[in-house]
Amino acid sequence: MAQPPPLPSPSSATIEDVARLAEVSIATVSRAIHTPEKVATSTRQRVNQAIAITGYTTNAMARSLRMGRSNMILVLAPDIGDPNFSSILVGLENEARAHGYGVLIGHTQNDPERGLDYLKFLNSNQAAGLLLFTGHAPFGHQTMTERLPPTVGLFEPVFNGQISYVGVDDTAGARKAAEHLLSSGHRRIAFIGESRTRLGHQRRRRGFDLALDAARIPATDRLVLEGDGTIESGRLALEQIFMRGEAPTAFMCVNDATAIGVVNGLSARGYELPRDMSVIGFDDIPQATYVHPPLTTIRQPRSAIGRQAMALLLQSLDGPARPPEDILIMPDLVVRGSVTLPPRR
Amino acid sequence: MAQPPPLPSPSSATIEDVARLAEVSIATVSRAIHTPEKVATSTRQRVNQAIAITGYTTNAMARSLRMGRSNMILVLAPDIGDPNFSSILVGLENEARAHGYGVLIGHTQNDPERGLDYLKFLNSNQAAGLLLFTGHAPFGHQTMTERLPPTVGLFEPVFNGQISYVGVDDTAGARKAAEHLLSSGHRRIAFIGESRTRLGHQRRRRGFDLALDAARIPATDRLVLEGDGTIESGRLALEQIFMRGEAPTAFMCVNDATAIGVVNGLSARGYELPRDMSVIGFDDIPQATYVHPPLTTIRQPRSAIGRQAMALLLQSLDGPARPPEDILIMPDLVVRGSVTLPPRR
DNA sequence: ATCATCCATGTAAAGGTTTACATTGTGCGA
DNA sequence: TCGCACAATGTAAACCTTTACATGGATGAT
**Chain A contacts of B64, Cβ < 8 Å?**
61
Closest Cα in chain B, distance from residue A169 (Å): 24
- Taking CA–CA distances from B97, the nearest residue in chain A reads A114
State whether residue A95 sits within 8 Å of chain B by CB. Answer: no
Q: How many beta-carbon pairs below 8 A join chains A and B? A: 118
Residues 176-215 of B with CB under 8 A from A: none
Domain-located, residue A335: no
Q: Read off the pLDDT of residues B117-151 as tens digits, 9 standing for 90 and up.
A: 999 999 999 999 999 997 777 787 555 666 789 99
Is B4 part of any domain?
A: no
Q: Which of B232, B231, B281, B277 is nearest to B254 (CA)?
A: B281
Residues of B in contact with A114 (CB under 8 A): 93, 97
CA distances from B97 to A286, B102, B256 (A): 32, 6, 31
**A213 and A155 both lie in a single domain:** no
- Distance, Å, A121 CA → C12 C1': 28
Measuring from the CA of residue B25 to each C1' atom, give the nucleotide at the shortest distance: C10
Distance, CA of A18 to C1' of C25, in Å: 25
Record: contact A60-B120, CB cut-off 8 A = yes
One domain for residues B294 and B174: yes
**Structure confidence at residue A134 (pLDDT):** 77
Same domain, A131 and A241: no
Cβ contacts (< 8 Å) between B100 and chain A: which residues?
A: none
Please give the Cα distance from B51 to B95 (Å, whole number): 29
In this structure, is residue B318 part of a structural domain? yes
Question: What pLDDT was estimated at residue A5?
Answer: 38
For residue A7, tell me if it sits in a domain.
no
The Cα–Cα gap between A249 and B76 comes to: 47
Taking only the tens of pLDDT, chain B with its 345 residues reads 333 333 444 568 999 999 999 999 999 999 999 999 999 999 999 999 999 999 999 999 999 999 999 999 999 999 998 878 888 999 999 999 999 999 999 999 989 899 999 999 999 999 999 999 977 777 875 556 667 899 999 988 888 778 899 999 999 999 999 999 999 999 999 999 999 988 889 999 999 999 999 999 998 889 999 999 999 999 999 999 999 887 899 999 999 999 999 999 999 999 999 999 999 999 998 889 878 899 999 999 998 999 999 999 999 998 887 899 999 999 999 999 999 999 875
Across the interface, whether the CB atoms of B264 and A106 are under 8 A apart is answered no
Burial of A97 (0-12, 13-18, 19+ CB in 10 A): middle
| Residues found in chain A | 345
CA distance A166 to A92: 12
The reply to whether B263 touches chain A by the CB within 8 Å rule is no
In this structure, the answer to whether residues B108 and B87 fall within a common structural domain is yes
Is residue A188 domain-shared with residue A291, that is, in the same domain?
yes
Same domain? A140 vs A284: no
- Give the per-residue pLDDT at B135: 72
**B38 & B151 share domain:** no
Chain B residue nearest residue A80, CA to CA: B86
CATH assignment at residue B240: 3.40.50.2300
Helices B112-123 and A83-98 cross at an angle (nearest 10°) of 80
Report the DSSP pairing between strands B278-280 and A151-154: unpaired
Residue nearest to nucleotide C7 (CA to C1'): B38
In a domain, B284, yes or no: yes
Q: Is A10 a domain residue?
A: no
Question: Does A100 score more than 50 pLDDT?
Answer: yes
d(CA A29, CA A21): 11
Q: Which bases of strand C sit closer than 7 A to a protein CB? A: 7-12, 14-20
Q: Buried b vs exposed e over B155-177: b needs ≥16 C-beta within 10 Å?
A: bbbbbeeebbbbbbbbbbbbbbb
Range of the domain at A37: 15-58
Q: Does residue B104 belong to the interface with chain A, where contact is any CB pair within 8 Å?
A: yes
Number of domains in chain B: 3
Burial status of residue A275 (CB atoms within 10 A of its CB: 0-12, 13-18, 19 or more): exposed
Write out residues 36-75 of A within 8 Å (CB-CB) of B: 57, 59-62, 64-65, 72
Judgement on whether residues A118 and A42 belong to the same structural domain of the protein: no
A222 and A267 in a single domain? The answer is yes
pLDDT digits (tens, 9 = 90+) for A293-341: 999 999 999 989 999 999 999 999 988 878 999 999 999 999 999 999 9
Is residue A29 a part of any domain in this protein?
yes
Residue B146 and residue B265 in one domain = no
Which 3 state secondary structure label does DSSP give A124? coil
Beta partners for residue A280, in sequence order: A252, A296
Question: Does B126 sit within 8 Å of A60, measured CB to CB?
Answer: yes
Residue of A61, A144, A264 with shortest CB distance to B61 = A61
Residues A345 and A248: beta-carbon distance below 8 Å: no
Closest residue to D7 (CA to C1') is A38
A14 CA, D5 C1': separation in Å? 35
Q: How far is A292 from chain B (nearest CA, A)?
A: 8
Within this chain, do residues B294 and B146 fall inside the same structural domain, yes or no?
no
Residue A133 sits at φ, ψ, to 5 deg, of: -90, 135
Give the nearest chain A residue to B70 (CA atoms).
A61
Model pLDDT for residues A228-246, shown as the tens digit of each residue: 999 999 999 999 999 988 7
Which of A65, A114, A144 has the CB atom closest to B61's CB atom? A65
What's at B157, amino acid-wise? P
Q: What's the pLDDT at B82?
A: 83
CATH number where B52 lies: 1.10.260.40
Q: Verify whether the Cβ–Cβ distance A81 to B87 is below 8 Å.
A: yes
Question: Does B82 reside within a domain?
Answer: yes
* B217 and B324 fall within a common domain: no
Position A10 pLDDT exceeds 60 = no
Per-residue pLDDT at B8: 42
Query: What is the chain B residue with the closest CA to A105?
Result: B105
